[in-house]
Amino acid sequence: MSSTTKYTLKPSLQEKFKGIIWKIETNNTNGVIAIETRSSDNKEAFYSAFNFITGEKLFKEITVEDSWHWGLDKAFNDFVYLNGYVSEKSPEHKGVIALNHQGTIAWAAYNKTLETVAEEGLILYNPTFQQKELELADAATGKIMQNKVSHYTQLNRKIYFPEALEDILLFPDEIGSTLVGPVSYLSYKEKDCYSYHSQNDLIISQYLLIKQDNKTLHKEILEDNISKLNPEPFFIEENHLFCIRNNKREIVAYFV
């Protein structure tokens, strides 16, 4: 720990991975965070899920057959959903795999595509049909419960992202004169959350800074000796601040 780093907040979740964190999905109703990591060396994708409130590991770095051609799609109810792709060169989705909270495959539908998740269940469609017709499926089994769905209820979620702080007079003193790039800022429950980059002797580091009543609650280096700025430093959901650090191989959640 450097002399400029102050840890006051204790993480509710802290996990390191073999591969690079590629995608994150959260389920705000049961406190689950699902993470896709990828290793380009052997072209494998891995999937993990944790309870970000308790820190409990549900499953970690499990994989599926032909994993490189599958990706994390959604976390919903007691499942994590993966999507396949129409082809290796196409971003268009085709195929659904449902993983339960033990990390095993509960069901799969290789001829369906997950449109979204809703209060009623999963919204699917058949990508081979020229005209998209939405279907309602049971989240636990994948069984189609209704065809030609025209209305469904969007999930109620509140995710907060920082924005660029334009007024230099509002920068806290800790940022200093070595600042490079924008300062990301989010005010949340009387806490001021910042992320910024500092450059010393051509070495760029990314910091997370949390203050309350002008007092520093937490300051840490998220990434050190990086070659370019990280545009997405953190987000907040369900009173937890999520950030990626250590060369995109570690997820951390702080209760704020």
Q: Determine the residue type at 176.
A: G
Tell me: do 241 and 126 sit in the same domain. Answer: no
CATH code, domain with 113: 2.40.128
Domain end call among 146, 181, 204: 146
Strand partners for 127: none
Burial label for 210, CB within 10 Å (0-12, 13-18, 19+), is buried
Predicted TM-score (pTM) of the model is 0.92
For residue 14, tell me if it sits in a domain: no
Domain end call among 146, 177, 207: 146
Return d(Cα 181, Cα 226) in angstroms, integer: 13
For residue 223, tell me if it sits in a domain: yes
Return d(Cα 241, Cα 15) in angstroms, integer: 14
Tell me: do 68 and 110 sit in the same domain. Answer: yes
Return d(Cα 225, Cα 211) in angstroms, integer: 25
**Widest CA span of the chain, in angstroms?**
62
- Residue 28 DSSP symbol: T
Tell me: do 198 and 103 sit in the same domain. Answer: no
Tell me: do 89 and 174 sit in the same domain. Answer: no
Please report the pLDDT score of residue 7 as a whole number: 65
Dihedral-angle region of residue 67 (phi above 0 means left; psi in -120 to 50 means alpha; beta otherwise):
alpha
Rg (CA), the chain: 20
Please report the pLDDT score of residue 88 as a whole number: 74
How do beta strands 159-160 and 144-146 pair?
Answer: unpaired
**Closest by alpha carbon to 117, among 27, 12, 214?**
27
Return d(Cα 215, Cα 85) in angstroms, integer: 48
- pLDDT by 10s per residue, the chain, length 256: 344 566 678 999 999 999 999 999 999 999 999 999 999 988 999 999 999 999 999 999 999 999 999 999 999 999 999 999 877 777 889 999 999 999 999 999 999 999 999 999 999 999 988 899 999 999 999 999 999 999 999 999 999 999 999 999 999 999 989 999 999 999 999 999 999 999 988 899 999 999 999 999 999 999 999 988 988 899 999 999 999 999 999 999 999 9
Return d(Cα 206, Cα 170) in angstroms, integer: 19
Please report the pLDDT score of residue 5 as a whole number: 60
